[in-house]
Structures are given as structure tokens and as C-alpha cells.
Amino acid sequence: MKLTPSQLKQFDEQGFLFFPSLFNESEAQLLKQAAKDVYSLNREEVWRESSGVARTAFAAHRYNPTFANLGAHPRLIEPVSQLVNGPVYMHQFKVNAKAAFDGDVWQWHQDYGTWQRDDDMPEPRAMNIAVFIDDVTAANGPLIFLPGSHKHGLVEASYDDKTTSYPLWSIDKSKIAALNNEAQCVAPTGPSGSVLLFSSLLVHASPPNISPLNRTIVYLSLCHVDNHIRSFKRKEWIAHRDFEPIKPLQDDCLSKLLQE
């Protein structure tokens, strides 16, 4: 899947692209079942809220065949390779849940802020792809973006290990308010199977989910192979150390699993 010149221009200006229903209903249902399967596992890679519900399943592409195929899907790998101008490796893979009624907040942050400070990633030649496993609505804790905030480079942040079960380099409220004055925040919503592609410098967050609707999203954090991390403080299943370029599979790699 190649991005058009207009899409490249939009990404440069806003820092993200949204593709509603990029995966069809059958593919989305396959991904939803895979998420249920990994959340049921008793593994150190599966982090939980204080309530006990799943929050994040790291490195699920290594122990679930559906997510293994998603991690090499051409609809995801090819546009990122185009944007970073070269082959990519998987820096991080996680399945993030915001369980109905219990899903916690993700503070305002930049992903590159963590990757640079904790993993010593040299440059922001990396980005996230978010695949909606559930329908994402205004009610169930959607991602909130500050369009154009990626153009500010790395923003000052402080280490927050108190707000949630997952520590994060979070950005001060006054800075968020200033960025919002430049371009008001947006929250892309859409059906399961939709995809968001966004810069690792884009400032974003998501509110708690107090609705009765689950909201699960799979994140692929992809980095140019020449820009791999230099520090290995975090566990390998959080910040991967296999820097080999991902070889995209065929476009029907998920639908073939449905036939098995």
C-alpha cells in the first residue's frame, strides 16, 4: 500500500493519517479474537490495571500467529517504510485495552520522548500505526491528537510513574494548552479495522473509558533499521533488539488464517 502525494502532504502538515475500515470485518473479527486470547494468558508481557483487567499485552506478535501476520502486513509496513525512506524493524508491539468502565487514562505524551530518553533512539525516524480492534467512538476513550505538534520536535516532559500502572514521560498541561491554541485537538473515530498512522513526535493522549464499550487498539511501533536503539535498559519484550528489516507478507495473510 503506497501513500499518494496528497496523503504525504497531509502527514507532513498534521502528523497523522486516518484510514477508516482498512481491514474488513472478517479480518477485524480475527484480530478481536486474537486480543481476547492474549489477554487471557498469564505472561509477564501482559500488564493489568489495578482492577485486574488487561491494560497492555507487549510483544504479542511473538506468541500469537494472528498478530505475527499483522506485524508484517503490507498495508502497515509499506506506508511507514515510505515515510521513513527505508526498511523498518519492530521497535515495539502492544495490544492496548481500555476495558469498559475500567480503562485508565494515557497522559499527554510523545512516543519518541520515551524512545529517546529510555532507549536512546537517535532520531524520530519512527512512528506508530494503530489498528482499531473495537469500534472507537467519542465515548470509549479515543486517541486525542494535537495536529501539527510533531513540528515542535521533542517537547520537555517529566517522568510520571504515579498516575497509572504504566510509567510515562508526560507533558505539562500548560504546554498542551499552548499547542492546542495553535491547532485544536482532534479525536479520530471509526469502526473496527480502521487504522491511524502517526508521527512519533505527535503529541497525543487518551481519556479514561467509563463507557460500557470496550476499546482495544493494536500498536506497531516501527523504526528505520539504521535508527535502532542504542540503550537496553528496558526489557527486550518492551523495546525489541532484533533490528532485521521486516519483510512484508502477502496482502491476504490474515484472510488465509481464516481459511485454516
pLDDT tens profile 182-234? 889 999 999 999 999 999 999 999 888 899 999 999 999 999 999 999 999 99
CATH number, domain with residue 177 = 2.60.120.620
Q: Give the model confidence (pLDDT) of 122-167 as tens digits.
A: 999 999 999 999 999 999 989 999 999 999 888 887 776 666 556 7
DSSP of 173-193, one letter per residue? Answer: HHHHHHHHHHS--B---B-TT
Confidence (pTM)? 0.91
Domains held by the chain: number: 1
Domain range for residue 247? 5-259
Q: Residues 151, 193: contact at Cβ < 8 Å?
A: no
Tell me, letter by letter, the H, E, C secondary structure of 37-61: HHHCCCCCCEEECCCCCEEEEECHH
